Structures are given as structure tokens and as C-alpha cells.
């Protein structure tokens, strides 16, 4: 039987404000436990929340860049439940009236097609603290540093139909919030985490199947694995005549499986009601307008500009704009070099990214500055070195041995472009390989490559390949 997969994602993006959403305490990550929790975060008696306008502005930025409606009035509600790291016994969130609703995000699928994914809503809320179960000898430690950190919960429509699409959507969203500088996107620290709602229905069927929710997956790879596992798990149940039960599941990265956490019946009754300590959040047109004017160029716009301005393919442009830092780096390289943008794109996305990925660095930590890379590209395009030599120069640059020019001079890698010198090499090679020369002359054209290789070997790769081709052909065929 064939099945339609229906996936909707809920993403919690931690907003990059300096202080918490309802208090003045710092949001910096990694401080000593409970050193960044003030009386409000600890929910001392008589403490009251005061909304951080910066968090509101960030939510508006997100809303505007996803073509959403910004609610002129939105309401903070209390979500009531008891948990030791939830100091007030309720979380302040937005329930019936979120600040952002009815938007969309266009994603580019692997086949190059664009797909529009609905953004149902995005609302502001506060994070809880952390319960620490290790190191306390059977007791639980509570760290409230994270309590009150602002979150934007971004809920998609169930428009995604595979794990692959879900990951593309997630990466597009991740890129967007980082472009907007509203979230640092650090998934390991939990700044960007994802819940996935998954259900299956017989192909073509209108009615949705029963869904499960996988909680708190914190890497793109795990999201893909967790969804794929869940799809096959549900498929197996349905195909053996069973029913999927509506429940919350956890993904175990070690086993690669999801397991049930709590069923719908066990779910809390959160007793939402409007928080009487906070007035309705009113956003006026002027605020929206001024935030709109401050929006940076967004990934989709940048991609289109790159295609035109740098004559890049969809594929190249799409990859380069994935992160703002990468796109900026690429543009800087282009501004410094005489080489073509295509060459710059190839080097940035190819050699540079390969080494950075290997070392787990991101573009902002690149040992080679955009200006240095530009210098190397100039040496390629002005024929000082060949592309092949350039790779070894690049590696030396990456290892910190100096600039492109320094390395080329030091190592004597300057390309040989003097036809007389090249001809000398060719003559030498023909003399050294009389048999192959006879065979070539007898019609074995494919031996041309052999002679190119031998000249390169003899010249330690320094001969200009185009010139070599010309001169070798002339000499062999003469």
C-alpha cells in the first residue's frame, strides 16, 4: 500500500536578546548555575514580569520576512503545570492570540523546484530552567539560568511530505533566523530545536491520520533520522492492521529510534488563561514600518541577486546564500579578485568548505581571509600558477605558511610560461620515451596524455597546461 506522509514542524528559536523576556537578567550561555536568575526568574513572591521590547521586535522581524500578519494585539497567557525547573508553576506563552500568523516560507527542493510551506503562527514565550539529574546522588539539581530566556515558537503547516523536505525547511528557517540576527542558531546549545508532528494516510486520502509528536530533536541529521524511523514505524503498524496512537515520542540518538514518552490521555490540562500581570501586547503600524525598513537582505532575495550579479547557477547561488557569513565572504572575495565569480564560487564552496568542514570550523573561523583567497585566485587567473599548483598553495595557506604570493615565491611554484623552456621539457620527454613516441606516431592518440603527465612530472607541475597542450601537439604532430 502507498502512503502519503504528512509532517508539520514546531521550532523553538531562542531569541538573541541580551536580557530575558520578562526580567533584566542576562541570557548569556554557560554561566555558573543560578548566577543569571534574578528574583523574577526565581518567581519570588510579589515579582512581576515586564516584557522585553527587543524580543517583540525580533518576532516582528520574523513575521515580516515570512509574509505573515503581525497581530495588532496579541495576548500573553499562562500555561499552568508543575515542574521543578518551572519556577512560577506556569509558563508565560501566547496561546489563542499569537503575535505572528498566516505566513509562508519558500524552500528549494533538491530537484530545484520551489515549494511553499505555510507558517501557521509564531509566538513569544519564555523558556524553563534545567533539571540536572547527574552529580546529585539521587537528588535533582535545578539551574534557573535559562528560565525566562525568550523563545519564538514557529509552527509550520503540515505541508512537508518527507524527512528530506522537513530538513530543507528546517535549514531554510535556520538560515533565515540567522540572517535576521534574531537567533544564533546554535543547535548544540539548544538555541534552535525542533518538534516534529508526523502522520500517514493512504495515498490520495483527504482525512489526516493519527499523528505522533517527536520532541526536542537538536540536529538536522537527527531530525531526518527520527522522521524516517517514525515513518517506517507507523507504516509497519498501519500495514499490519493496527492503529497509531496519538502520543509524544522521544528520539534516542544512540539507538536511532523513537520511543513513547506520554500518551494523549496522560497529557496535561494546561489551564491556559490570559496573564493578568501583562497587558495585551499592542503593535502599531509605525513600529512595523520602522522594523520593515531595517530588515536585511533575506536569503531568497540574495539568491536571486547572486544569480544575476555573479552569473551563478541556481545551485551555486542557493548554496552560497545558505549562511549570511558565507555569502558575505564570497562577496568579499569577488570584490578583491580579478578572477571570475564562478571561480570564486568553486573555491569557496569546494576547497575551502571541505577543509573547514573537516576541522569543524565555520566560515567566520576560516584561517584564510577573503582577501588572501582573492590573491590566490588572481594568481590562477593571471596564469602565475596552474589550478593544480593552486591547490597545494591553498593547503599551505590554510596551514598558515603565508600568503599566496609568499608561498609561490618561497616554493618556486611560479608557472612556466616561456615556450622555449617548455619546448626543452618536451624534447627531453620524447627523447626519454622513444617507444611511446613510436606508438603515438603510429596512431595511438591516447598516449598524448602520457606525454602531458611526463612533462608535468619533469617540471614539478609548473608548466602552464594550456601552453603545454599547444606546444606538445605541435611538436608530436610535426
Q: Which is nearer to other proteins, 80 or 423 (CB)?
A: 80
Q: Which is nearer to other proteins, 76 or 329 (CB)?
A: 76
Nearest approach, Cβ of 81 to other proteins (angstroms)? Answer: 9
**Nine-digit cell string for 28:** 548569556
Q: What is the 3-state secondary structure (H, E, C) of 67-90?
A: CCEECCEECEEEEECCCCCCCCCE
* Residues 436, 457: Cα–Cα separation, whole Å: 16
**Nine-digit cell string for 443:** 596512431
Give the largest Cα separation in the chain, rounded. Answer: 99
Q: Which is nearer to other proteins, 50 or 361 (CB)?
A: 50
Nearest approach, Cβ of 262 to other proteins (angstroms)? Answer: 15
Q: Which is nearer to other proteins, 84 or 256 (CB)?
A: 84
- Please report where in the chains the cell 528549494 appears, as a residue: 108
From 174-182, 276-284, 368-376, 414-422, span contacting other proteins (CB under 8 A): 276-284
* Residues 273, 97: Cα–Cα separation, whole Å: 11
Q: Please give the helix or strand (H or E) that residue 266 lies within, else none.
A: none
If one asks whether residue 78 binds other proteins (CB under 8 A), the answer comes out as yes
If one asks whether residue 278 binds other proteins (CB under 8 A), the answer comes out as yes
Query: 78 with 91: CB under 8 angstroms?
Result: yes
Determine which residue in the list 271, 342, 457, 473 makes contact with other proteins, applying CB under 8 A: 271
| Three-class SS state of 171 | helix
Site string for other proteins, 90-119 (x = CB under 8 A): x-----------------------------
| Three-class SS state of 321 | coil
Q: Which residues contact 453 (CB under 8 A, 6 or more apart)?
A: none
If one asks whether residue 42 binds other proteins (CB under 8 A), the answer comes out as yes
From 97-105, 167-175, 270-278, 301-309, span contacting other proteins (CB under 8 A): 270-278
Residue (of 447, 5, 426) closest to 203 by Cα position: 5
Residue (of 50, 108, 54, 29) closest to 299 by Cα position: 108
Q: Please give the helix or strand (H or E) that residue 156 lies within, else none.
A: strand 150-156
If one asks whether residue 280 binds other proteins (CB under 8 A), the answer comes out as no
Q: Which is nearer to other proteins, 275 or 375 (CB)?
A: 275
Cβ-in-10-Å burial (0-12, 13-18, 19+) of 139 comes to: exposed
Q: Which is nearer to other proteins, 6 or 51 (CB)?
A: 51
If one asks whether residue 286 binds other proteins (CB under 8 A), the answer comes out as no
* Residues 461, 246: Cα–Cα separation, whole Å: 65
Nearest approach, Cβ of 194 to other proteins (angstroms)? Answer: 27
From 8-16, 45-53, 95-103, 347-355, span contacting other proteins (CB under 8 A): 45-53
Q: Which is nearer to other proteins, 278 or 349 (CB)?
A: 278
Question: Which residues inside 118-147 make contact with other proteins, applying CB under 8 A?
Answer: 140, 142
CA–centroid distance for 22 within its chain: 29
Determine which residue in the list 10, 277, 325, 406 makes contact with other proteins, applying CB under 8 A: 277
Query: 127 with 188: CB under 8 angstroms?
Result: no
If one asks whether residue 31 binds other proteins (CB under 8 A), the answer comes out as no
Residues pairing with 258 in the sheet: 251
| Three-class SS state of 426 | helix
Q: How many residues bind other proteins (CB under 8 A)?
A: 29
Nearest approach, Cβ of 279 to other proteins (angstroms)? Answer: 6
Determine which residue in the list 50, 208, 260, 354 makes contact with other proteins, applying CB under 8 A: 50
From 36-44, 113-121, 393-401, 419-427, span contacting other proteins (CB under 8 A): 36-44
If one asks whether residue 44 binds other proteins (CB under 8 A), the answer comes out as yes
From 48-56, 251-259, 394-402, 408-416, span contacting other proteins (CB under 8 A): 48-56
From 43-51, 188-196, 222-230, 392-400, span contacting other proteins (CB under 8 A): 43-51
Question: Which phi-psi region, left, alpha or beta, contains residue 60 (left: φ > 0; alpha: ψ -120 to 50)?
Answer: alpha
Q: Please give the helix or strand (H or E) that residue 261 lies within, else none.
A: strand 257-263
If one asks whether residue 51 binds other proteins (CB under 8 A), the answer comes out as yes
Question: Which residues inside 169-208 make contact with other proteins, applying CB under 8 A?
Answer: none
Question: Which residues inside 421-460 make contact with other proteins, applying CB under 8 A?
Answer: none
Angle between helices 285-294 and 53-65 (to 10 degrees): 70
**Nine-digit cell string for 195:** 518538534
From 54-62, 246-254, 274-282, 420-428, span contacting other proteins (CB under 8 A): 274-282
In the complex, the residues that contact other proteins under the rule CB under 8 A are: 39, 42-51, 78, 80, 82, 84, 87-90, 140, 142, 269, 271-273, 276-279
Amino acid at each position: 500500500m502507498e502512503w502519503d506522509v504528512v509532517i508539520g514542524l514546531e521550532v523553538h528559536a531562542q531569541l538573541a536578546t541580551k536580557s530575558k523576556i520578562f526580567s533584566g537578567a542576562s541570557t548569556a550561555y554557560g554561566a555558573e548555575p543560578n548566577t543569571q536568575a534574578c528574583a523574577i526568574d526565581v518567581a519570588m513572591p510579589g515579582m512581576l514580569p515586564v516584557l522585553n521590547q527587543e524580543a517583540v521586535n525580533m518576532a516582528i522581524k520574523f513575521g515580516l520576512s515570512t509574509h505573515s500578519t503581525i497581530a495588532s494585539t496579541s495576548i500573553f497567557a499562562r500555561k499552568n503545570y508543575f515542574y521543578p525547573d518551572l519556577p512560577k508553576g506556569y509558563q508565560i506563552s501566547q496561546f489563542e492570540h499569537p503575535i505572528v500568523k498566516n505566513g509562508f516560507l519558500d524552500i528549494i527542493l533538491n530537484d530545484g523546484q520551489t515549494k511553499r510551506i505555510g507558517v501557521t503562527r509564531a509566538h513569544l514565550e519564555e523558556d524553563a530552567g534545567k533539571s540536572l539529574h547527574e552529580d546529585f546522588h539521587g537528588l535533582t539539581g535545578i539551574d534557573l539560568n535559562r528560565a525566562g530566556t525568550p523563545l519564538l515558537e514557529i509552527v509550520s503547516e503540515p505541508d512537508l511530505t518527507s524527512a528530506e523536505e522537513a530538513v530543507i525547511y528546517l535549514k531554510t528557517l535556520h538560515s533565515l533566523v540567522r540572517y535576521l540576527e534574531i537567533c544564533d542558531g546554535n543547535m548544540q546549545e539548544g538555541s534552535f530545536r525542533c518538534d516534529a508532528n508526523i502522520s500517514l494516510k493512504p495515498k490520495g486520502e483527504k482525512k489526516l491520520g493519527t499523528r505522533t509528536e517527536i520532541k526536542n530533536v537538536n540536529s538536522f541529521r537527527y531530525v531526518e533520522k527520527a522522521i524516517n524511523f517514525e515513518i517506517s514505524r507507523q507504516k509497519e503498524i498501519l500495514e499490519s492492521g493496527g492503529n497509531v496512537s496519538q502520543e509524544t515520542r522521544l528520539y534516542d540518538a544512540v539507538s536511532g529510534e523513537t520511543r513513547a514518552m506520554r500518551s494523549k490521555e496522560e497529557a496535561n490540562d494546561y489551564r491556559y488563561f490570559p496573564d493578568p500581570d501583562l497587558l495585551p501586547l499592542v503593535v502599531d503600524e509605525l513600529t512595523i514600518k520602522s522594523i520593515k525598513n531595517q530588515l536585511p537582505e533575506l536569503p531568497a532575495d540574495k539568491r536571486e541577486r547572486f544569480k544575476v550579479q555573479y552569473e551563478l547557477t541556481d545551485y551555486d547561488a542557493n548554496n552560497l546564500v545558505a549562511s549570511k557569513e558565507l555569502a558575505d565572504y564570497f562577496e568579499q572575495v569577488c570584490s578583491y579578485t580579478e578572477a571570475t565569480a564562478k571561480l570564486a564560487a568553486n573555491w569557496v564552496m569546494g576547497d575551502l568548505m571541505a577543509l573547514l568542514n573537516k576541522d569543524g570550523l565555520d566560515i567566520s573561523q576560516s584561517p584564510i581571509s577573503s582577501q588572501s583567497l582573492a590573491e590566490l585566485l588572481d594568481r590562477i587567473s593571471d596564469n602565475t600558477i596552474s589550478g593544480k599548483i593552486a591547490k597545494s598553495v591553498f593547503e599551505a595557506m590554510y596551514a598558515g605558511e603565508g600568503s599566496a604570493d609568499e608561498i609561490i615565491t618561497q616554493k618556486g611554484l611560479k608557472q612556466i610560461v616561456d615556450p622555449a623552456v617548455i619546448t626543452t621539457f618536451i624534447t627531453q620527454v620524447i627523447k626519454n620515451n622513444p617507444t611511446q613516441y613510436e606508438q603515438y606516431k603510429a596512431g595511438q592518440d591516447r598516449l598524448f596524455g602520457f606525454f602531458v603527465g611526463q612533462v608535468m612530472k619533469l617540471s614539478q607541475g609548473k608548466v602552464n597546461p594550456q601552453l603545454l597542450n599547444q606546444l606538445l601537439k605541435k611538436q608530436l604532430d610535426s
